[in-house]
Amino acid sequence: MRKANCAVILATQSLSDARNSGILDVLAESCPTKIFLPNSAAEDAGQKELYTGMGLNDKQLAILKSGIPKQDYYMVSPQGRRKVQLALKGKALAFVGASDKASIARIRELAAEHGPGNWQHIWLRERGVA
């Protein structure tokens, strides 16, 4: 797949779900880049075991515990580890955050009605960020 310049993304809502399904070891070993979401329970006994199994230490667990949901993310890759913030607002959020069925249907409707390059300003106006 590397030659085709593509990526495979595996996601789980909970490390315990991955453990219970038997794929936690595979994720830890086979996914060089991992993105962890904030978790106020990251240092609790059961959660801590899962995170340390993914290679995180106590300092990194404290970062997860203190993170702001939907803004802070902790990235781990062969190039390093870092907390990043994705605080999208305004126009960027109007596009990136449009993932519910109603929004997607409306975008498709606008694109069909106005053409692929002409619907964006209408969408932004409807979202109140034009």
Q: Give me the amino acid identity at 123.
A: W
The model's pLDDT over 20-53, given as tens digits with 9 standing for 90+, comes to 888 888 888 888 899 999 999 999 998 999 999 8
Range of the domain at 24: 15-85
Token couple for 106? 């409306």
The reply to whether 27 and 81 lie within a common domain is yes
Report the alpha-carbon distance of residue 69 to residue 127 in Å, rounded. Answer: 23
The reply to whether 118 and 58 lie within a common domain is no
Report the alpha-carbon distance of residue 30 to residue 44 in Å, rounded. Answer: 26
The reply to whether 34 and 74 lie within a common domain is yes
Torsion angles phi and psi, residue 80, rounded to 5? 150, -175
DSSP secondary-structure letter at 68? P
The model's pLDDT over 80-92, given as tens digits with 9 standing for 90+, comes to 999 999 888 899 9
**Model pTM score:** 0.70
Q: Give me the amino acid identity at 108.
A: R
**Total number of domains constituting the chain:** 2
The model's pLDDT over 44-99, given as tens digits with 9 standing for 90+, comes to 998 999 999 889 999 999 999 999 988 999 999 999 999 999 888 899 999 998 98
The reply to whether 81 and 25 lie within a common domain is yes
